[in-house]
Amino acid sequence: MGDVAGKGIGASLLMASVHAAIRSRAGSLVDRPASLIAEVNRHLIDSCPSGTFVTLFLGTLDLDSGILHYVNCGHPPAILWHSDGRGAEQLAEGGPVLGVIDAEIFAAGKCELVSGDIVIVYSDGVTEATNASEEMFEDLRLLEAVTWAANRSAPDLAECIVRAVDDFAEKQEQADDISVLVVRRSV
């Protein structure tokens, strides 16, 4: 999941370019996400005007073992919700936003999902949504929504999170996009 600085057609085209760069390189680097991200970063630096940047959370999940390899590049940390009662863990390992620093300074994180564990990846529009009092939704309310709906299916949990943000915002106009991806391991 990624988020481009800016809005409109230019930002959409940039995200399409990032998507294409990831897909074109992913086959050879699927087991090395930090190397993949370093190449995508170089692509952005070489092809985009200065001041352009992208936050990104990239993960590859081995469906047999439950091992998730990921890199977080300035994106809000994904949440790993443990089904055994240990609560939540932030998946923040990675590096800076993409398109700014031309260096291979990205580190991959790794975790294991056991049956019932959930990974939630979201855009900053979730935690930065504001209400009429100009309070932000923030991480604590997100964790409360996840805690309340953790026993639901992945699509239902995503819907519960978006509904919690909407209810909190009290019909205030959205300042940013709201994206939520939920993956639950069921094996």
Q: How far apart are CA 109 and CA 148, in angstroms?
A: 27
Give the structural domain span for 95. Answer: 2-184
| pLDDT, tens digit, 9 for 90 and up, residues 96-145 | 999 999 887 899 999 999 999 999 999 999 999 999 999 999 999 999 99
CB 81 within 8 A of CB 144: no
| 33-84: pLDDT as tens digits | 898 999 999 989 998 887 889 999 999 999 999 999 999 999 999 999 999 9
Between vectors from CA 112 to CA 37 and to CA 80, what angle results, nearest 5°? 80
The pTM of the full predicted model, rounded to 2 decimals, is 0.92
Yes or no: say if 39 and 73 are a contact pair by the CB < 8 Å rule: no
CA distances from 168 to 92, 126, 142, 176, 179 (A): 26, 11, 11, 15, 16
Q: Count of domains in the chain?
A: 1
The sheet carrying 87-91 orders its strands as: 87-91, 78-82, 118-122, 180-184
Give the angle subtended at the CA of 107 by the CAs of 52 and 59, to the nearest 5°.
80
Domain of 29, CATH number, reads: 3.60.40.10
Q: Where residue 30 falls among pLDDT bands split at 50, 70, 90?
A: low
